[in-house]
């Protein structure tokens, strides 16, 4: 319960008045609460821009973490809302000269925006008061100009349909959802249109400039007209090129000037600086040449107006193609968002619970506990539970599992999945940002924001890349100029259309514009974006570049047993009472103690105990003083009797004698890879329960494939050594760690890491969380607990062990593309700059004109993005396609009969 600050002292005094000593303890958790703000940032051109932006955001008091992604042009900021708000963060970005667009904040997870048509200004206060009277409404903001009402609320208590109804009744106006302003995709399309428009306008001016300087000079009649004098030595052609290139330089190329100014103002240099310097050098020298020609009777010079205008045109074309390609790297998120249906069918019930009507509504108007109808061929609108009907639902778009999953009353369905052949009535449970689809989208977005450690290489290079290029460019010009001035090379090297100064200037400009910091900045994030998106489509959620990079180094995997190597749905197969007692009463006491445990073995006991009860929703006796002993079992007081349920070591620790008969039963269970559970009542061992949890069908094949990939497999479990050995032998694992507590699992991982292994941990339960965090890579089974999934770096949505191999193989493929990107980016600059500087000119006569150098620079960025896009065609290893689903044998024994049943189990989906 939260306490208002001024009440703290009053509460303390009240406690002391009662005769106790009270000390106020500050709640660090509440003080340290963190919210996440996501925003789009327009205007970043290279790694230097994104690094500068990160530094600015991290320097704000209250910001705990800031990540800026060049590839997505977005920022994710973790901040303390008590020290700073999202408006201050947006302002900080705007102050740098870039444009900030709010995407989401931690404050609007349950927020709706409504547009009110026909509302009178004097009724706004009435509307606000009516809305505030609704339970669950937390805050209201009214924009009178836009006729927009923003409402933050508790989704467990109210929802948008209630707000629309209240607004309508308050002033008779009509309220509806505010039109969606669009997200990343709409911003990308807008930017594509802007660059396309700029490029086309630049062509209108650049093509005539290019023709007049490069083509028409070879057409005698046109050349004579262009060479005609206007004033002194100034020709029509020079004046014509000057007039046409000026709008390209200063109007269409204005973005490069503003980008340069903003970067230099914050003490950094980016690609815009290189472009502005290169084009300015060409333009202003040409302008100088024109002015000299107009004022002199004998000056003969050349202009490079085509260089500046063609440079800008090619760079705009490159940016246009780059944005088109980058958009394809984030298609995975767009596809996930598109899974959510736009509408849903809402059912209305009368007092007797009979359906009396149905209505099609916008899916954003769904509220918790709504009953929705899902017809065959329609998508499920939100996460919920089936309350009526049965069908098969295709969940492949969420989990990657191709087989339709049977659904009946009580089963959970996931929003965005496809209902195939039956009608379902579902009760809405998780809506909006709480839905599984929204959480997956957020996870993939965060993964694409997170930088891989290898990205640090590009960040370090970017700090000195642009200044170094400027120095090299100036040095190139100076070297060639001095060499020409002092006859360092033959006069025959100089083209007839220029002098030694102009030749040196061309070399200097080429160096300036061929250097491309963008390729380094895009090498890693574009590959990570595509890799994480492909992983999501295959049912493998990879939480960022760090996880992706670590996964490709994995050479040792530690498996939890229950729920990971095994199906995770254990069943009771045998019971033996060692004392005279009714079996139903025995299970009632055992279930009363185990019902509070999350362990799969506990759930198996509770489920089996239900067979002795006639009621479906039987309430088990209250368990007092419940204690869960991790890795051993549980202890509780049930009906005034001390109940201990667990393994042999737990009994011995509580001085409960284990007779020989029980020892034999445990040994027999271990031989059959089953788990023996001992039950003590009032300090005396009363019974033995044998539980079987069959292996997952493909466990042995997965371990075999991992061995062929030179990856060591280890099994760790809290189960006894006998059962662990039997399971390990069956799947082909040579190293086991049995009877391990959660902290011992984490310690073992640290020992393996100390030996030089890069360790992955695969688990599904709360008790696996410490190990998942301790491992270099934590992989959580998608059907596991929320805590395990939160602690993991990779989530296997299909709960299929084969996806471990997919995750590792995908990470290896992704990093091979990252290496290829870096090889191209570094190789391009290392080879391109010397060639642009004229390294080949003395030997071959080959030189790179500035406009060709600019085209090469634009093409290099596009090529890096396209290389990353090849990951979209990733296919999982062929070895996995050859695996057959095998039958699983469970041996069930009782006093009177023995039954051996073969059951075919397919990998379960969440």
Length of the chain: 910
Q: Which two tokens stand for residue 678?
A: 């001992």
- At CB < 8 A and 24+ separation, what contacts does 376-379 make? 376/419, 376/420, 376/421, 376/422, 376/423, 377/418, 377/419, 377/420, 378/341, 378/345, 378/418, 378/419, 379/339, 379/340, 379/341, 379/415, 379/416, 379/417, 379/418, 379/419
Q: Where are the beta strands (DSSP E) in 375-479?
A: 383-388, 391-394, 405-407, 412-413, 418-419, 424-430
pLDDT of residue 904: 34
Top pLDDT among 792 and 852 is at 852
First to last CA, the chain: 33
Residue 651: which pLDDT band, with cuts at 50, 70 and 90? very high
pTM strictly above 0.95: no
Pairing of strands 777-781, 759-763: parallel
Are 429 and 384 in contact by the 8 Å Cβ rule? The answer is: yes
Q: What percent of the chain has pLDDT over 70?
A: 86
Nearest partner of 287 among 815, 295, 595, 167, judged by Cα: 295
pLDDT at 701 over 60: yes
Q: What percent of the chain has pLDDT over 90?
A: 16
Contacting residues for 319 by C-beta, under 8 A, at least 6 apart: 195, 858
Residue 16: which pLDDT band, with cuts at 50, 70 and 90? low
Chain center to CA of 224: 63
Residue position matching structure tokens 């073992």: 748
Are 382 and 345 in contact by the 8 Å Cβ rule? The answer is: no
Nearest partner of 431 among 347, 343, 369, 360, judged by Cα: 369
pLDDT at 907 over 50: no
Stretch 876-884: mean pLDDT, rounded? Answer: 69
Nearest partner of 549 among 517, 576, 524, judged by Cα: 524
pLDDT of residue 6: 44
Are 766 and 787 in contact by the 8 Å Cβ rule? The answer is: yes
Q: 737 burial class (0-12, 13-18, 19+ CB within 10 angstroms)?
A: middle
pLDDT of residue 555: 92
Q: Dihedral of CA 35/40/43/46: which sign?
A: positive
Top pLDDT among 118 and 292 is at 292
Top pLDDT among 26 and 80 is at 80
pLDDT at 895 over 70: no
Stretch 292-304: mean pLDDT, rounded? Answer: 80
Lowest-confidence region among 14-28, 212-226, 765-779, 821-835: 14-28
Beta bridge partners of 571: 692
417 φ/ψ angles, rounded to the nearest 5 degrees: -85, 165
Q: Where are the beta strands (DSSP E) in 258-298?
A: none
pLDDT at 250 over 90: yes
In angstroms, rounded to a whole number, what is the distance separating the alpha carbons of residues 717 and 733? 13
Stretch 173-182: mean pLDDT, rounded? Answer: 71
Are 170 and 130 in contact by the 8 Å Cβ rule? The answer is: yes
Q: 509 burial class (0-12, 13-18, 19+ CB within 10 angstroms)?
A: buried
Residue 424: which pLDDT band, with cuts at 50, 70 and 90? very high
Are 727 and 695 in contact by the 8 Å Cβ rule? The answer is: yes
pLDDT at 368 over 50: yes
CB-side exposure of 579: number of CA atoms within 13 Å? Answer: 15
pLDDT at 908 over 60: no
pLDDT at 73 over 90: no
Q: For residue 499, indicate whether it is catalytic.
A: no
In angstroms, rounded to a whole number, what is the distance separating the alpha carbons of residues 637 and 626? 7
pLDDT of residue 556: 93
Q: Where are the beta strands (DSSP E) in 282-374?
A: 343-349, 355-362, 371-374
Distances (CA, A) of 657 to 633, 662, 681, 685, 903: 16, 10, 12, 7, 37
Are 508 and 849 in contact by the 8 Å Cβ rule? The answer is: no
Residue position matching structure tokens 């009632």: 588
pLDDT at 5 over 50: no
Q: Which two tokens stand for residue 87?
A: 């408006």
Q: Which two tokens stand for residue 139?
A: 């805050």
pLDDT of residue 113: 81
pLDDT at 870 over 80: yes
Residue position matching structure tokens 């199906």: 567
Q: Which two tokens stand for residue 503?
A: 């030749």
Per-residue pLDDT tens digits for 709-755: 999 999 988 777 877 888 888 889 988 888 777 777 888 888 999 99
Q: 394 burial class (0-12, 13-18, 19+ CB within 10 angstroms)?
A: middle
Average pLDDT, whole number, for the chain? 81
Residue 10: which pLDDT band, with cuts at 50, 70 and 90? low
In angstroms, rounded to a whole number, what is the distance separating the alpha carbons of residues 849 and 509? 9
Per-residue pLDDT tens digits for 812-832: 999 899 889 888 888 888 888
pLDDT at 80 over 80: yes
Are 107 and 152 in contact by the 8 Å Cβ rule? The answer is: yes
pLDDT of residue 480: 93
In angstroms, rounded to a whole number, what is the distance separating the alpha carbons of residues 189 and 688? 66
pLDDT of residue 204: 94
pLDDT of residue 400: 54
In angstroms, rounded to a whole number, what is the distance separating the alpha carbons of residues 727 and 700? 10
Residue 31: which pLDDT band, with cuts at 50, 70 and 90? very low
Residue position matching structure tokens 């198996």: 604
pLDDT of residue 899: 31
Top pLDDT among 523 and 678 is at 678
pLDDT at 123 over 70: no
In angstroms, rounded to a whole number, what is the distance separating the alpha carbons of residues 831 and 821? 15
Are 425 and 411 in contact by the 8 Å Cβ rule? The answer is: no
Stretch 69-92: mean pLDDT, rounded? Answer: 86
For residue 523, give the DSSP letter. H
Are 806 and 534 in contact by the 8 Å Cβ rule? The answer is: no
Helix 850-869 with 271-295: angle, nearest 10 deg = 160
Stretch 775-801: mean pLDDT, rounded? Answer: 74
Q: Which two tokens stand for residue 91?
A: 């302002």
pLDDT of residue 15: 67
In angstroms, rounded to a whole number, what is the distance separating the alpha carbons of residues 64 and 78? 6
Residue 900: which pLDDT band, with cuts at 50, 70 and 90? very low
335 φ/ψ angles, rounded to the nearest 5 degrees: -65, -40
For residue 603, give the DSSP letter. H
Contacting residues for 291 by C-beta, under 8 A, at least 6 apart: none
pLDDT of residue 13: 64
pLDDT of residue 399: 60
Q: Which of 313-322, 421-430, 775-784 has the highest mean pLDDT?
A: 421-430
pLDDT at 628 over 50: yes
pLDDT of residue 890: 40
pLDDT of residue 246: 94
∠ CA(86), CA(90), CA(96), 5° rounding? 150
Residue 108: which pLDDT band, with cuts at 50, 70 and 90? low
Residue 3: which pLDDT band, with cuts at 50, 70 and 90? very low
Are 595 and 623 in contact by the 8 Å Cβ rule? The answer is: yes
Contacting residues for 2 by C-beta, under 8 A, at least 6 apart: 30
Question: How much of the chain is helix, strand and coil, in % rounded to 5?
Answer: 50, 20, 30
Sheet holding 74-79, edge to edge: 63-69, 74-79, 35-42, 99-104
pLDDT at 798 over 50: yes
Stretch 653-666: mean pLDDT, rounded? Answer: 90
pLDDT of residue 331: 66
For residue 654, give the DSSP letter. T
Q: Which two tokens stand for residue 265?
A: 């103002």
Are 432 and 152 in contact by the 8 Å Cβ rule? The answer is: no
Catalytic choice (272, 303, 370, 560): 560
Are 564 and 483 in contact by the 8 Å Cβ rule? The answer is: no
Chain center to CA of 872: 16
Stretch 680-685: mean pLDDT, rounded? Answer: 91
- Furthest CA-CA distance within the chain: 125
Are 148 and 114 in contact by the 8 Å Cβ rule? The answer is: yes
Nearest partner of 535 among 334, 789, 883, 794, judged by Cα: 794
In angstroms, rounded to a whole number, what is the distance separating the alpha carbons of residues 171 and 175? 11
Are 762 and 559 in contact by the 8 Å Cβ rule? The answer is: yes
pLDDT of residue 903: 33
Q: Which two tokens stand for residue 206?
A: 């650049």
């Amino acid at each position: 319960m939260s306490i208002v600050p001024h009440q703290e002292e009053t509460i303390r005094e009240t406690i002391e008045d009662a005769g106790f000593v009270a000390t106020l303890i500050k709640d660090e958790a509440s003080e340290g609460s963190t919210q996440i703000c996501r925003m789009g940032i327009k205007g970043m051109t290279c790694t230097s821009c994104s690094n500068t932006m990160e530094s600015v955001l991290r320097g704000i008091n209250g910001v705990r973490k800031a990540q800026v992604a060049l590839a997505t042009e977005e920022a994710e900021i973790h901040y303390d809302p008590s020290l700073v708000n999202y408006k201050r963060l947006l302002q900080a970005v705007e102050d740098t000269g870039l444009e900030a667009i709010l995407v989401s904040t931690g404050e609007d997870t349950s927020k709706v925006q409504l547009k009110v048509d026909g509302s009178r200004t004097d009724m706004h206060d009435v509307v606000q008061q009516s809305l505030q009277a609704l339970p669950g409404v937390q805050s209201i903001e009214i924009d009178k100009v836009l006729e927009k009402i923003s409402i933050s609320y508790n989704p467990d208590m109210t929802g948008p349909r209630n707000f629309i109804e209240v607004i309508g009744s308050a002033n008779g106006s009509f309220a509806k959802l505010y039109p969606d302003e669009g997200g990343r995709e709409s911003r990308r399309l807008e930017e594509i249109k802007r660059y396309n428009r700029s490029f086309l306008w630049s062509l209108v001016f650049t093509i005539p400039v290019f023709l007049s300087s490069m083509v028409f000079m070879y057409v005698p009649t046109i050349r004579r007209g262009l060479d005609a004098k206007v004033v002194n030595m100034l020709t029509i052609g020079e004046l014509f090129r000057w007039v046409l290139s000026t709008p390209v330089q200063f109007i269409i190329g204005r973005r490069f000037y503003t980008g340069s100014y903003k970067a230099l103002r914050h003490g950094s240099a980016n690609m815009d600086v290189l472009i502005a310097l290169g084009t300015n050098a060409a333009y202003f020298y040409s302008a100088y040449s024109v002015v000299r020609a107009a004022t002199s009777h004998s000056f003969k010079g050349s202009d490079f107006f085509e260089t500046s205008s063609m440079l800008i045109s090619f760079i705009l074309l490159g940016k246009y193609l780059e944005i088109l390609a980058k958009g394809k790297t984030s298609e995975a998120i767009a596809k996930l968002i598109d899974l959510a249906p736009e509408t849903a069918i809402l059912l209305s019930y009368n007092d007797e619970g009979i359906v009396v009507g149905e209505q099609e509504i916008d899916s954003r108007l769904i509220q918790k506990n709504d009953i929705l109808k899902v017809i065959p061929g329609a998508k499920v609108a939100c996460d919920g539970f089936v309350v009526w009907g049965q069908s098969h639902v295709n969940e492949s778009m969420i989990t990657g599992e191709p087989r339709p999953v049977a659904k009946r009353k009580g089963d959970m369905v996931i929003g965005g999945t496809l209902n195939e052949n039956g009608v379902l009535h579902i009760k809405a449970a998780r809506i909006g940002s709480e839905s599984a689809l929204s959480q997956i989208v957020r996870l993939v977005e965060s993964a694409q924001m997170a930088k891989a450690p290898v990205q640090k290489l590009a960040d370090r290079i970017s700090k000195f890349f642009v200044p170094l290029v400027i120095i090299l460019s100036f040095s190139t010009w100076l070297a060639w100029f001095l060499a020409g001035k002092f006859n360092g090379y033959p006069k025959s090297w100089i083209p007839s259309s220029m002098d030694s100064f102009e030749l040196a200037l061309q070399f200097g400009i080429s160096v300036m514009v061929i250097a491309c910091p963008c390729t380094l900045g895009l090498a890693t994030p574009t590959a990570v974006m595509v890799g994480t998106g492909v992983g999501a489509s295959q049912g493998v959620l990879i939480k960022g570049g760090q996880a992706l990079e670590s996964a490709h180094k994995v050479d040792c995997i530690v498996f939890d047993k229950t729920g990971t190597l095994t199906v995770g749905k254990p069943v009771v197969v045998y019971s033996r009472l060692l004392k005279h007692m009714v079996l139903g009463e025995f299970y009632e006491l055992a279930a009363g103690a185990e019902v509070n445990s999350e362990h799969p073995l506990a759930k198996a006991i509770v489920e089996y105990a239900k067979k002795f009860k006639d009621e479906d929703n039987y309430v088990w006796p209250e368990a007092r003083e419940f204690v869960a002993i991790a890795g051993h079992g549980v202890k509780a007081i049930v009906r005034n009797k001390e109940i201990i349920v667990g393994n042999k070591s737990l009994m011995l620790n509580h001085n409960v004698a284990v007779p020989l008969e029980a020892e034999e039963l445990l040994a027999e269970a271990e031989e059959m890879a089953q788990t023996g559970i001992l039950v003590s009542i009032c300090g005396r061992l009363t019974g033995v329960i044998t539980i079987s949890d069959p292996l997952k069908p493909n466990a042995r094949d997965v371990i075999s494939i991992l061995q062929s990939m030179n990856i060591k497999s280890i099994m760790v479990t809290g189960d006894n050594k006998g059962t662990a050995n039997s399971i390990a032998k069956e799947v082909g694992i040579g190293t086991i760690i049995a009877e391990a507590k959660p902290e011992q699992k984490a310690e073992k991982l640290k020992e393996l890491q100390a030996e030089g292994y890069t360790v992955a941990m695969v688990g599904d339960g709360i008790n696996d969380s410490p190990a998942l965090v301790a491992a270099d890579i934590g992989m959580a089974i998608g059907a596991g607990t929320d805590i395990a999934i939160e602690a993991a770096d990779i989530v296997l949505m299909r709960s299929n062990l084969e996806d471990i191999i997919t995750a590792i193989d995908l990470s290896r493929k992704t990093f091979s593309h990252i290496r290829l990107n870096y090889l191209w980016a570094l190789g391009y600059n290392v080879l391109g700059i010397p060639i642009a500087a004229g390294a080949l000119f003395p030997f071959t006569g080959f030189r790179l004109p500035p406009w060709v150098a600019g085209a090469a620079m634009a093409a290099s960025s596009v090529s890096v993005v396209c290389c990353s896009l090849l990951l979209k065609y990733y296919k999982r290893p062929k070895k996995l396609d050859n695996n057959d689903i095998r039958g699983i044998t469970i041996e069930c024994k009782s006093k009177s009969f023995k039954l051996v049943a073969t059951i075919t189990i397919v990998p379960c989906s969440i």
